[in-house]
Amino acid sequence: MQFITSVRAGFGRVLNLCGLIAGAALMAVMVLVVANALLRYLFNMPVGGTLELTEGALPFIIFLSLAMTQYEGGHIKVVLLTRKLPVRLQRALLVLAMLAGAALFAWATYAGWKLTAKSIAIGEIERGSIRYPLWPVKGVIAFGMALLTVQFLIDAAVAALGGALPDTDPEEIE
């Protein structure tokens, strides 16, 4: 159990780094949008490419933070059907849910890498007021899903070995 706990903590440090990158991208988008609005309003000179850069940054913001949210137990959980079950059965269902999540995101990761490779092969670029290659955007989506797949597998192992995961006792909303 100590080994998987240390693996989880080590992977959590990687996820925190990804979260910092996502946060920096969010801050950059915020600065860009505010600068665009101010320059448009004050001088009628908007920042060129704001739309393209903002939409290109969104996958970095979203997909680099997905696994970190799972690591911290921040995803929404519905326990309506499971909260009255015996603890061992709850744990077994949690492991199954984590494995199902890992399987789903492993498939999505595979599909994402294929799309990234195709984007590289055809030289796909963003069309608009500025142009940039789209493969980094597609690649970060696949990378983020790969991170989430690994986090689901780690959490499944922790739960299967009887360890506690963050927010295993979710708050109730009435």
Q: Rounded to an integer, what distance in angstroms lies between the CA atom of residue 79 and that of residue 70?
A: 16
Q: Which of 170, 161, 139, 169 is nearest to 7 (CA)?
A: 161
Would you state the pLDDT for residue 168? 56
Is the pLDDT assigned to residue 174 strictly greater than 60?
Answer: no
Scored b (16 or more CB within 10 A) or e, 145-172 reads bbbbbbbbbbbbbbbbeebebeeeeeee
Q: Across all residues in the chain, what is the average pLDDT?
A: 95
Is the pLDDT assigned to residue 39 strictly greater than 60?
Answer: yes
Tokens of 170: 């979710």
Q: Rounded to an integer, what distance in angstroms lies between the CA atom of residue 143 and that of residue 109?
A: 7
Would you state the pLDDT for residue 83? 87
How do residues 107-131 score in pLDDT, each as one tens digit?
999 999 999 999 999 999 998 899 9
Q: Which long-range contacts (CB under 8 A, 24 or more apart) does 81-90 make?
A: none
| Mean pLDDT calculated for residue range 60-73 | 97
Is the pLDDT assigned to residue 31 strictly greater than 70?
Answer: yes
Scored b (16 or more CB within 10 A) or e, 75-114 reads eeeeeeeeeeeeeeebbeebbebbbebbeebbebbeebbe
Q: Rounded to an integer, what distance in angstroms lies between the CA atom of residue 52 and that of residue 133?
A: 12
- Position with higher pLDDT, 170 vs 16: 16
Is the pLDDT assigned to residue 171 strictly greater than 60?
Answer: yes
Q: What is the DSSP letter of 47?
A: P
Q: At what angle do helices 2-43 and 50-63 cross, to 10 degrees?
A: 160
Would you state the pLDDT for residue 61? 98
Cut 0.85: pTM above it: yes
Q: Rounded to an integer, what distance in angstroms lies between the CA atom of residue 126 and that of residue 18?
A: 24
Q: Rounded to an integer, what distance in angstroms lies between the CA atom of residue 168 and that of residue 13?
A: 21
Q: Which of 139, 130, 140 is nearest to 51 (CA)?
A: 130
Counting residues of the chain whose pLDDT is more than 90, the rounded percentage is 87
Would you state the pLDDT for residue 169? 60
Q: Rounded to an integer, what distance in angstroms lies between the CA atom of residue 122 and that of residue 38?
A: 38
